[in-house]
Amino acid sequence: MTVIDISPSVMQFLLAFIVVAPLLGAVAALLPAPPGLKGKGPDQAVLRHGVTVTGAVLIAAIVLAVGFDHDHPATMQATTDISWIPALDVRIHLGIDGISLPLLLLTALLTFLCALHSYFKPPAGPSPKAFTALVLVLESGTLATFAVLDLLLFFLAFEMVLIPMYFLIARWGGDQRRAAAWKFILYTLLGSVVMLLGLLLIGLRSGTFDMVALATDNGRGLTTSVQIIAVLAIGVGLAVKTPMWPLHSWLPDAHTAAPTVGSVLLAGVLLKMGTYGFVRILLPIAPDGMRTFAPYLAAFAVVGIVYGSLACLALARRGAKGDLKRLIAYSSVGHMGFVLLGIATMTPTGVNGALFANIAHGLITGLLFFLVGAVKDRYGTADLDTLAGATGAALYGRAPRLGALLAFAAVASLGLPGLAGFWGEMLTLFGAYSPAEGLSRPAFRTFMAIGAFGTLLTAAYMLIVVRRVCMGEHTPHSRLSPAAPADAPEPSGTDPSGAGPSATTPPRPATPQPAATTPQLADIQTYEAAAWTPLAALTVLAGLWPAVLLGLTDPAVQKLLAGGKS
């Protein structure tokens, strides 16, 4: 069933346009603006250009989704297959199915909202031209990662996003931005080198780099030892980007230093590239290798869940001087642990849960980083003790709508039933209860119990954040008035002998002290509401109607795990 019947050639054009248009827009952003389009100045013109290009890409992605055949989500659609390097059988092969379409839409939406936010609140830093061009290159690389069906093209698209994100952090970031940017690039590049070796091993041993053909073969053309080596090499590169504990240490620094837009794109989109690679490449192409490493992947995943939650609890406690952006970054380590646990089960239930959790995390954490950026702009800091202490009154009292939305995003992140965060975690735990054949049930049920404990820890630190930032710190005041200084003059109306009030001078009533006023902060602005409302609405929609997403992913996952057979 398609909502609108669109011809295959138009669908091909739409997918190619979605991938290429941001790249062309990045080149155009560096050129001088035409005289009639400058607006109030060249800076405003180039930021408006970013909104226009990302908006056009989002519209094209929505039209592509409308024309997608929802009765056959396991079939690759809008495909383009052109020979590129015949000697290596490398092809420009594009296509989407029920697994990649939601990620494509999420990327187009978040990038457009970031461009819209940047137009009304330009980033503090160098030229907006370079900023807009980098965001568009980042979008093109991410969209290409989810659309290409050739291993070498996947690697090129996977690497394409690194340089733009490096410069976004290094040039437009906050404190310690250069160190954080270097840590990000070194970790990801080293992981990518190992991943490339694994991709080349698969392609050269099987004789093709075509991901559809390899998935249909389902590892039959690769020996078990080759699969194990490939999964180890490719898995390390993907685990760095996910990020999986203990390869996660670049993430908190990168998020803390990155500008708001950089944090939204990093958490909402870039982390999904790693988990997508596990599902699209390793599960169908090297199933025997994945089965060998699945228990270890699950073990690292649940350690990450608990570790991320404990790190957040440590940052949230009073006196820890924890940074709210850093806390949200550590929460991503825990949430992505659930995604990896679902993939490690190698079952349709677990993998569907992982894909659902991917989208939910992109929506909720993207919203959280937008909100934390707004709080930091208003207070001048993201330090939790400052936000909760006497110098930063409760958000509920100073900016009530902002405080309410932050509380909503926090409870969505902890997995409240009825919101998007619930279904991914629940399906992941169900998948761990009954893993794929050949995997140890006692081990995975132990992982399930640890993961369930992690959900309790997540609820604990998120509720602490809501209490401290939204409601304020409870500081009990003494009932007794402060003692008067020793050399203070005797108050009038008191007998100098100390016998009590003077008979001739009546006691003067205490002068009422003026009530302390809480300075108000700017509440949610119109442009902020425009950027944040879609994320909040989709969080509710996915929580109340999960079949919208699961109806796309489930047939595609079933086919993927069955070796290309529907």
For the residues 308-329, what does the mean pLDDT come to? 87
Check residue 479 and give its pLDDT. Answer: 35
Q: CA 563 to CA 558: how far, in whole Å?
A: 9
Are 50 and 115 contacting, i.e. CB atoms less than 8 angstroms apart?
yes
* Mean pLDDT, the chain, integer: 84
Contact of 336 with 304, CB cutoff 8 Å: yes
Residue 292: predicted pLDDT: 92
pLDDT at 484: 38
pLDDT in tens, 107-144: 999 999 999 999 888 887 788 888 999 999 999 999 99
Supply angle C-alpha 328, 341, 359, rounded to 5: 55
What SS3 string covers 17-45? HHHHHHHHHHHHHCCCCCHHHCCCCHHHH
Cα dihedral value 53, 54, 56, 59, nearest 10: 180
pLDDT at 482: 38
The stretch 327-339 carries a mean pLDDT of 91
Examine the pLDDT at 494 and tell me if it is beyond 50: no
Taking residues 501-517, what's their average pLDDT? 44
Residue 377, classified by CB atoms within 10 Å of its CB into exposed (0-12), middle (13-18) or buried (19+), is middle
Name the pLDDT band for 565 (thresholds 50, 70, 90).
Answer: low
Structural contact between residues 269 and 362, judged by C-beta atoms closer than 8 angstroms: yes
Q: pLDDT: is 29 or 477 the higher one?
A: 29
Confidence check: pLDDT of 507 > 70: no
- Mean pLDDT on 240-266: 87
As a whole number of angstroms, the distance between CA 16 and CA 426 comes to: 36
Identify which of 145, 152, 147 has the alpha carbon closest to the alpha carbon of residue 97. Answer: 147
Q: Work out the pLDDT band at 53, boundaries 50, 70, 90.
A: very high
- pLDDT for the residue numbered 490: 41
What's the mean pLDDT in 466-486?
56
- What pTM did the predictor assign? 0.87
CA 109 centroid distance within chain:
13
Rounded to an integer, the average pLDDT of 350-368 is 94
DSSP for 432-482 reads HHS--TTS-HHHHHHHHHHHHHHHHHHHHHHHHHIIIIII----PPPSSPP
Mean pLDDT of 309-320: 86
At 56-106, the pLDDT tens digits run 999 999 999 998 888 888 888 888 888 888 877 778 899 999 999 999 999
Mean pLDDT score, 551-566: 81
Confidence of residue 174 (pLDDT cuts 50, 70, 90): confident
More confident residue, 8 or 344: 344
How many angstroms separate the CA atoms of 181 and 167, rounded?
8
Compare 87 and 475 and report the one with higher pLDDT. Answer: 87
Given a cut of 90, whether residue 491 has pLDDT beyond it is no
Q: What is the pLDDT of residues 216-248, one digit of tens each?
A: 887 788 888 999 999 999 999 999 888 888 888
The candidate with the shortest Cα–Cα distance to 333, out of 291, 275, 411, 405, is 275
Euclidean distance between CA atoms 190 and 301, whole angstroms: 21
**Cβ atoms of residues 209 and 151 within 8 Å:** yes
pLDDT tens, 372-422?
988 888 888 878 887 776 444 577 777 889 889 999 999 999 888 989 989
pLDDT at residue 520, as a whole number: 67
Residues 6 or more apart from 215 whose CB is under 8 A from it?
284, 285, 560, 563, 564
| Residue 489 pLDDT > 50 | no
